[in-house]
Amino acid sequence: MGRGARTDVFEIFRQEKDGDPMRHAGNVVAPDVELATHYAREMYSRRNESVRLWIVPRGQITDLSDPDLLQPPLDRSFKKPGGYVMRDKLEVAKRRAATEKGTDVD
């Protein structure tokens, strides 16, 4: 490549066999997507180890790694099963219902 040639980084994703998810394999540096595709074939498929490749300019990828958005510290466990401990309250309520009706507790 000549002096001053623009080069971009392209992230490469590959699929090992039909049905597999696309997995990030690495990246290549190239002046355009065509050459990046050739390099990607050589780097990640020259022994027929991939059935599909995605060649994506790095700038086209939106990266989200903000922990406040992805792993917020607020405890919202009450929304999930098991996040709200019911067992003891249920026991108490059953006992109360049984005594009121006069039947045995399970």
The site for other proteins (CB under 8 A) is made up of 26, 29, 39, 42-43, 46
Least gap, CB of 61 to other proteins (angstroms): 15
Least gap, CB of 43 to other proteins (angstroms): 5
In the bound state with other proteins, the residue whose beta carbon lies nearer, of 29 and 51, is 29
In the bound state with other proteins, the residue whose beta carbon lies nearer, of 58 and 96, is 58
Least gap, CB of 13 to other proteins (angstroms): 15
| Phi, psi (deg, nearest 5) at residue 48 | 60, 30
| Phi, psi (deg, nearest 5) at residue 50 | -130, 150
In the bound state with other proteins, the residue whose beta carbon lies nearer, of 26 and 72, is 26
Least gap, CB of 36 to other proteins (angstroms): 13
DSSP state string for 67-99: HHHHS--S--GGGSTTSS--HHHHHHHHHHHHH
Cβ atoms within 10 Å, residue 45:
16
Collect contacts of 90-97 with beta carbons under 8 A, ≥24 apart: none
In the bound state with other proteins, the residue whose beta carbon lies nearer, of 46 and 80, is 46
